[in-house]
Amino acid sequence: MMETLEEGQLCFPELVNTSCTKPQRTHAEALLIYILLSFISVVTMTLNLLVIISISHFRQLHTPTNLLLLSLAVSDFFVGILMSFQILITNDCWFLGDLMCVSFYVLLFISTSASVGTIVLISVDRYVAICYPLHYSTKITVTRVTICISFCWICSILYVVLLMVDNLRQPNRYTLCSGDCVIVINYVAGIADIITTFFAPVTIIIFLYMRVFVVAVSQARAMRSHITSITLSGTVSAKKSELKAARTLGVVIVVFLTCLCPYFISSLLGENSLFSLTSVPLESWLFNFNSCLNPVIYAFCYSWYRKTIKLIVTLKVLEPDSCEISVL
């Protein structure tokens, strides 16, 4: 009886000496965890897919800023897929082999790295729009933004492959028992990763948004005054829309940093950056949960997002020339 119980706690009962043991959770705890994380994963995929369809389908939304939101939604959508993959497949034990384990992390790191890069690009976009409004249309074009987004994703792929080279060469290098999915990034590479994907981007983002905040405050004061002539009313209206976009994307960035900081602080405190799918720390889930929050922020702040959701849900996007519908 004791032997049967012990074997039932193993990921691979036939490998008594080398199998990992399953986490000791009650049935209620396991059920609650899987329901909660599955819900987050499904919501993340659904909301970000709606953003992707909205911006891709409606021509009125093909603007430089929205293309950056599209890139962010794509990376967040992939994070949602990988979250569901982890929840539905691992079941506290990894059964898909060491190569699939490393591949999982490579895809997850590429998606999160692309998110960080896109957030930096969004900060640059708002900085130019608010601080240099007269030059925005010439400096920030759809073509240039598309090139920047492509470059961001390519750099993310190359960076992650370089970061994970040891794990890719020998996928089972750090696996201690059968049924675990573990990768290790050495201390030097971990510090370089924190600087590259945390401190440097955060410094750039904070600097740019401090500049945006100062200029936005001065513009808001000018708008409240009655010095502006009637002939500049169109310009003031444009500035108001840019300021609203800056505030919305500012919320996105604040939420992003809030979810990001615990993850990188935890990594910084560790001697080695060890990641295990079968014992995912809370800060990692908080990092991934950010991918669910972004489209929620859009829903509250962007009227076009709410309109496009209605058009998508009612299948009006399938009608001829639906891409020309005005959603702004």
Q: Does a structural domain hold residue 229?
A: no
Q: Does a structural domain hold residue 18?
A: no
Q: Alpha-carbon distance 76 to 80, whole Å? A: 6
Read off the pLDDT of each residue in 222-232 and give the average, rounded to a whole number. Answer: 53
Q: Does a structural domain hold residue 137?
A: yes
* Structural domains in the chain (count): 1
Left if phi > 0, otherwise alpha if psi is -120 to 50, otherwise beta: which for 92? left
Whether the pLDDT of residue 51 is over 80: the answer is yes
- pLDDT tens-digit series, residues 142-189: 999 999 999 999 999 999 988 888 888 877 777 777 777 777 777 777
Q: Does a structural domain hold residue 231?
A: no
Read off the pLDDT of each residue in 11-24 and give the average, rounded to a whole number. Answer: 68
Q: Alpha-carbon distance 131 to 140, whole Å? A: 13
Least confident of 71-80, 148-157, 312-321: 312-321
For the chain, give the percent of residues with pLDDT over 70. 73
At residue 154, the pLDDT reads: 95
Q: Are 211 and 185 in contact (CB under 8 A)?
A: no
List the domain range (segments joined by +) for residue 314.
32-221+242-324
Q: Does a structural domain hold residue 91?
A: yes
Q: Does a structural domain hold residue 236?
A: no
Q: Does a structural domain hold residue 20?
A: no
CATH no. for residue 294? 1.20.1070.10
Q: Does a structural domain hold residue 12?
A: no
Whether the pLDDT of residue 125 is over 80: the answer is yes
Read off the pLDDT of each residue in 232-254 and give the average, rounded to a whole number. Answer: 59
Q: Identify the CA nearest to 118 among candidates 163, 162, 76.
A: 76
261 or 1, higher pLDDT? 261
